[in-house]
Structure 1
C-alpha cells in the first residue's frame, strides 16, 4: 500500500488494464511532471462545471497542482451558476425517456437541460447577469477593457454574491482560481449564455463590444505566459475536446512557426480524457501522435488517452494527485 489515501490505493490496485491502466499511468505521469517542476494546464470542455467538477478541481488549484486553465465560456459561467443557485437545480435521472413535450414543459418552467441536470434560468443566469452588466457598463464608461474571466474574478472577489451562496464556496473551482489569481483562457467566450447577455446589452447600447477583450488577445496573453513559464515544461491535461483543447495547444506551433521562436519547448506531457470515436478529420478523436506533425508534442512526450467518461475519470485522477 502507498502513503496515499483509500481512493488512490483502490485504483492502483484494481485498475490494471486497458482504460483503467491508462488512468493510473496518466495520473502517475502528471505527478512526475509536478515533481520535476513543470507547470500544468487543464482544459475543460463539455459541461464539467455543471457536473460539479469543482468538488475536486478546486482543491487541485488550492494545492498548486494546476497553474493555468483553459475552458469554454459555459464552464466559466456554470461554476458560478451552481455556486448561487444549486438548490434550484433539477436533476432528471430518466432524461433518456423525455418526450419533446416533456422538454417543452422544462422550457416553460425556465429550466435549461444539460443531460440529467437542469439549470434554473431565473435563479442562476439572471442573478449573475445584473452583476456582470454593471461591470461591463462601468468599463465602457471608463474606457477600460478586460478579459471575460477577469469580470468573473472581480465579481467573486467583491463578495457581492456571498449572501447568495448555496454550496460550500470551497467547492467552487472558479472561486479557488480567483483567490489564487491563476490565469484562465476562455476562447470563444461569445458562445456562452453570458456572451449572449453581453451581445444583447451591446445591441441595446448599454455597453460596447470593446469592453471585453478578444480571443486573439487571449492567444497573445497565452504566448507571453508560456514563454515565461515553460523553463521546466508545461503539461497539457485535456478534458474533452473542442475549442477548449484545440485553441491553447496551438500556442506552441504559433510561437515556433509564426513568430520564429525556435527555442520554444514543446508541451512536456499530454493526456486527454475523451469518449470521442477515433476518426479521420476529428480533433477530439485524433490520437496524440498526430499532434507531433503539428509541432505540439514530441516523440518522447508522455502521451495518454483515456477513452472514457470525464465525469468519472477526472475526479479519480485528481483524487490520486491529492492523495485521497
Structure 2
C-alpha cells in the first residue's frame, strides 16, 4: 500500500514512546488485514460525539473493520450528530464553568460532554420519536430486535432523512447499516435511548419489555459470529478505551473454551488498546495485555500494543495510516 501525506508524516515523525507504538500498532493492523485477517473494533468513551465517524465510516466502507462492540451512548450519539449537528454548541472554556453555568446549560436542555453540548430536543427527542414508532410496531407485531437493528431499521426507512445535517458518509452507524455490519451493544440500557425505552415500558406504551433484545442474547450472537468468523480468518481486537465495550466481547473466547469446552477455537490474533487509564493490575481498562493471557483471551505470540494517549487524537491517525491517507 502506498502512503499518503498523513501516513508519510507519521512514519517520519513518530519515532519514540507512544508515537512509535502508534506506528507499530498501525503497521501490524495493516499486516493483519493483508494476511487475510479480520478486525473487531470496540468503542468506549464519547467517540461518536468526538465525530470519529469522519474516519471510522471510511474504515467500514473499505472493509478494514468487520464487527463492532460499542456502548449504547456511542451507538446513539453518532445518530444524534447526524440529525442535529447544526444545533450542537462547543464550549471551549469548559474547564472554567461554574456550577451555575452548568445549571444554565441544563435549563436550555444542552447536555454537555466535555467541550460539546448535545441539544436534547433536536437530537435525543428527534431520535426517540423515530425509534418509538419502530419499538411500538415491533411490540404489536410480537417481533424482537437488537438495539442496533432498530437503528438500522430507522435509517433504512428514511424516517430521519429530512433532519440530516451532515453528509451520511460521515456517520459510522450509517456506513455499518449499509454493510449490515455486526454490532454488539452490551449494557444498552445504560444509554439515553435505553432510559427512554424503559420509561415507555413503565408508561405502558410498550407491552413487552423484551421487544428490545438483551445483553445475554448479544453474547450468544457474538459467540456464533466469532465461531463462524474465526474459522475463516484470524480475528484481531482493536480497543478504544476500556469498560464494557471492550471487556464484553473479548471474553467470548474464554467462554467458548472454558464454559462450552469447545476445542480448536483460536484466541484473538492481534490486540491494540488506546487508553489513558493509569496502568494497573487492579482494573480492566488499565491492565497490560499480558494479563489477558492468564484469562485465555490472548496467546503468548499475539501482537500486543497499548498506546497510552487520547483516543480522539490517536484513533483517527491510526485509521488514516491503515487507509493509506
TM-score bucket (shorter structure): over 0.9
Which residue is 2:294 aligned to? Answer: 293
Which residue is 2:62 aligned to? Answer: 63
Residues 42 and 246 in structure 2, CA contact (< 8 A), matched pair in contact too: yes
Which residue is 1:172 aligned to? Answer: 171
Which residue is 1:230 aligned to? Answer: 230
Residues 38 and 230 in structure 1, CA contact (< 8 A), matched pair in contact too: no
- By how many angstroms is 1:202 displaced? 0.2
- By how many angstroms is 1:96 displaced? 0.3
Q: TM-score, normalised by structure 1?
A: 0.99
Indicate the larger mover: 265-274 or 204-213.
Answer: 204-213
Q: Does 1:211 align with 2:211?
A: yes
Residues 223 and 251 in structure 1, CA contact (< 8 A), matched pair in contact too: yes
Ranges in structure 1 where 5+ consecutive residues have no aligned partner: none
Which residue is 2:250 aligned to? Answer: 249
Which residue is 2:88 aligned to? Answer: 89
Q: Matched residues in 2 for 1:256 and 1:37: separation?
A: 24
- By how many angstroms is 1:323 displaced? 0.9
| SS of the residue 2:187 aligns to | coil
- By how many angstroms is 1:56 displaced? 0.2
Which residue is 1:195 aligned to? Answer: 194
Q: Matched residues in 2 for 1:291 and 1:226: separation?
A: 18
- By how many angstroms is 1:243 displaced? 0.1
Q: Matched residues in 2 for 1:61 and 1:279: separation?
A: 32
Which residue is 2:274 aligned to? Answer: 273
Ranges in structure 2 where 5+ consecutive residues have no aligned partner: none
| SS of the residue 1:152 aligns to | helix
- By how many angstroms is 1:210 displaced? 1.1
Which residue is 1:162 aligned to? Answer: 161
Aligned length: 323
- By how many angstroms is 1:280 displaced? 2.9
Partner deviation per Cα, 1:163-188 (whole Å, 9 max, x = no partner) = 11101110000000000001000000
Q: TM-score, normalised by structure 2?
A: 0.99
Q: Does 1:303 align with 2:291?
A: no
Which runs of structure 2 are paired with 1:137-148 in the superposition (5 Å)?
137-148=136-147
Partner deviation per Cα, 1:138-178 (whole Å, 9 max, x = no partner) = 11111111000000000111111111110111000000000
RMSD of aligned Cα (Å): 0.7
Stretches of 4+ aligned residues off by more than 4 angstroms: none
Q: Matched residues in 1 for 2:149 and 2:201: separation?
A: 19
Which residue is 2:260 aligned to? Answer: 259
| SS of the residue 1:230 aligns to | helix
Residues 249 and 296 in structure 1, CA contact (< 8 A), matched pair in contact too: yes
